[in-house]
Amino acid sequence: HAKERGRGQVQSFTPMLAERLADNSRLERELRDALGRGEFTFVFQPQLALASGRIAAVEALMRWHHPVDGLRAPGSFIPRAEESGIIHELGDWALEEFARRLAHWQRIGQQLGPQHGGIGRLAVNVSPRQIVRPDFFTRLRDALVRHDAPPALLELEITESMAMQCGDETLAELARLRAEGVTIAIDDFGTGYSNFARLKDLPIDRVKIDRSLTADIDRCAAARTIAQAVTGLVHGLGHEVVAEGVETAEQLAILRVIGCDLVQGYAIARPMPEQDFLDWMRGHALSHQPVSGALPG
């Protein structure tokens, strides 16, 4: 077919495609080596219940300690990992890490005593390529069982666009997982195409309002109106609302008025390496303060 499109196009198309394929396989090799050398890790960012100030959950965010580039954020490698298919190896590794930590952190929470509410759920991001794979759900269950990690403390974050495109098969799997105790959150809500007829049928527990919306609520009445309407809609469907990217005390105050359930963002805490997070968590659990307008310590 390429021939039919004319000479010039064939000549420019072929080297470009070849270059791209070479690029992808180079990155694939690089990512696989990095996985072998243990260069991937996670940082952790808490989500607080706005009313009580308790730690409701903590989100795991992937990082790559690149030997040359230093610390790399997921935006610079997850999309490429998805294209190359290495996302499955990375995802399997991540599932092990999540299950292992869940079990470990639950013990730490128990040591603190029930009055401190523990660490709450571990919220993890999964990619579209991962969850459409038929054995993803089996692998997830396997990891939880092997590490003796309670499913009720795991939360899957799936992006709005991913959720809207899920086939019936995947939705049924998600519903089954949810019946087993795993909670499900829609991530980055408000950035994609939202089909409300579809939203009402999703087997979910909470909706995360994207930070592009949160960022404007203290500067822009229209953004406030949207955040309020989304909160009403989500509550009406029986789910909780999480605001992500909360950076200022003023945003916190507005979210409280709006009736948002959970908050996450720099105003509470930045994503932290595991040990820093555990220290932060202990300090927070023991002081057990409600989220005030002021930045919590």
Q: Which parts of this chain interact with ligand C2E (CB under 6 A)?
A: 45, 61-62, 73-75, 78, 94, 125-127, 157, 187-188, 211, 244-247, 265-266, 271
Of the pair 116, 194, the CB lying nearest ligand C2E is at 194
Which residue from 79, 87, 39, 83 is spatially nearest to 63, judged by alpha carbons? 39
Q: How far apart are CA 129 and CA 124, in angstroms?
A: 15
Residue 16's binding partner among ligand C2E, Mg ion, none (Cβ under 5 to 8 angstroms by kind) is none
By CB under 5 A, tell whether 97 contacts Mg ion. Answer: no
Of the pair 231, 264, the CB lying nearest ligand C2E is at 264
Which residue from 242, 158, 244 is spatially nearest to 203, judged by alpha carbons? 158
By CB under 5 A, tell whether 125 contacts Mg ion. Answer: yes
Which residue from 291, 228, 285, 233 is spatially nearest to 110, judged by alpha carbons? 285
Interface residue with Mg ion, options 97, 155, 160, 187 (CB under 5 A): 187
Of the pair 97, 244, the CB lying nearest Mg ion is at 244
111's tokens: 């040591």
168 backbone dihedrals φ, ψ, rounded to 5°: -60, -35
Q: How far is the CB of 31 from Mg ion (least distance, A)?
A: 20
> Residue number with the shortest CB distance to ligand C2E?
265
By CB under 5 A, tell whether 160 contacts Mg ion. Answer: no
* Cα 118-74-66 angle, rounded to 5 deg: 105
Q: Answer whether 234's CB lies under 8 Å from 16's CB.
A: no
Residue 20's identity, in one-letter code, is R
Residue 247's binding partner among ligand C2E, Mg ion, none (Cβ under 5 to 8 angstroms by kind) is ligand C2E
Residue 94's binding partner among Mg ion, ligand C2E, none (Cβ under 5 to 8 angstroms by kind) is ligand C2E
* Cα 116-120-123 angle, rounded to 5 deg: 160
Of the pair 95, 116, the CB lying nearest Mg ion is at 95
Q: How far is the CB of 16 from ligand C2E (least distance, A)?
A: 28
Q: Answer whether 95's CB lies under 8 Å from 141's CB.
A: no
Contacting residues toward Mg ion, per CB under 5 A: 125, 157, 187-188, 210, 244
